Structure 1
């Protein structure tokens, strides 16, 4: 008699929850830095102790205010990873660590809930994955917001009182100085950079040329977080009175409303000018000469027209010579000519494009795309599949997170040893500074790796195109705003236009026959 052998199914292995932690302190005092290290140590160990959890990374913003989300680099990186589907759950010590702005708090929680990401606030014992209502979270978020406003008001009152008595100069040392016991002192490593900027400007170089020179020399300083120099940063140095030993206080101020953002003080509050508040780097005569030179150069470099004031500005490119088309009026008809052809017809034979023709051809492309949105949808599905494959092949990011966590643990251990008197202060400072420098280098590398790649940008732009076309009506009249949102450039051929959309899709359309 035949026997039946029953084969038991293999139990499916339970999928682990990918859990991340977010830590933040909003003061640069030693106690708060210690609190920061404690949060890092606690959550790293806690997540790894749970068998059903998988460590998805630690996101930490150190010495940054929590009132606005856009000031916190790691907070933004955390949200980006949640949107990319890399995280299932977030652990936070309290709502005040997560946000001190009720609107930001509620909006972020709502978005993460829609993404399927739960947040657990330890202090308040709130798990957004189990919440049926946002009322409790809103009340607690409002309390955290009021706490933040109160702290801000007290700090501002203290700063203004000290400004009046000349006891307060600045919280942040500009290039060329460092702070010691509240006093600005020249930094020997950075003073030559300041002197170079002033001497170069007096020698006739423009601010743009000076910034290019400094970038070419890779002039950087570890204490500042700028990787590149720009024209605006050169102008800030040249016009800063601190380099002649004086201080103009309260150039900016923070209004008593959220978000707590610094705005320029245009007479709303009193300013305080303190002479000889610290050692000078630049002689007064040199500084005043530079100010006169800035003013005189500004007169000779007034812009004569507004660049990019037309929809097609910078968009039309010649397929023959690669030049950009420029607009000209002839008998009240707007025409766009290849710049080489405009100089000499022998340099490029490309004929002119009337503005009316370009608009008409765009209407054809737009309406055809409106009727064939499936092209974009199929493209988006393929891109999302590619993005998912790329996302889970990044062991380098995991390794960097682990290195950062280990260095922060070392700093925490050093703090404990110093508190107990087991190590000398000089050794503590030397090792802490070395670790902090390594942490900053690793974080820069992590931010570089976490920057949206080309696939992510194309995905976002394809979604934007679909949103523009969703429930849209056929376009009968040229709409500049929609054109700007959709088109990156147009290559003009003698017989056709080649439209390059913002997501890389290329569409051809024949030119109007004459």
Structure 2
């Protein structure tokens, strides 16, 4: 695909800045409660969205607010979200704003289909405030894979919480805290707060490459694993051991820690 010139990127930004957007503000909370006083409460999410539009999007208007209280992000079959989609398809709404990607949804494949296929086809702008993502910004398209990685973690949280976490842990997850035994590949624990995950640049670059090979180049899981092994790139298992000072364990039995097709599948098909 031909690379856009700086002039074309500037022209795109001008076009988007001149267009009038009718925003639909969306908020979601997994645990039903109107008394949760934190950054992820429904009222706080909607307030953040209102303030962002007012301060940063002159010429745009907030047309409607939609919310799902006590509804899991693993499904898009939600009353509030369904109403938002209905208004998008009718032309009432042509832009969507959320506090962060996890409020939008934790089902990675469905979320990306909406962001990459459905919304572009309907000419809908999408903004995720805390992630610094705006589909109207050409730079965001170039950095799309960073957001793909974040979606992987979002769905990982949802999957493990449904099986292993207590209600207290579910509330903590609502605050953006991670209670799993090991962060998903591509993330690491924050040094400031071990319950918060941040992107691990080294592992994340491998995830980006895996997605490029799988989605853009059409390689099979087996082929991708072969390439990574040939280049001596540590698998998730060996990477974890090496990072925690146990490289000798990998060196004693390297074949035990090779990339396998199922590792690639788990990364691309959460």
Name the TM-score, length of structure 1 as normaliser. 0.26
Q: Using CA pairs under 8 Å that are at least 6 residues apart, name the structure with larger relative contact order, 1 or 2.
A: 2
Q: Which has the higher helix share?
A: 2
Name the TM-score, length of structure 2 as normaliser. 0.48
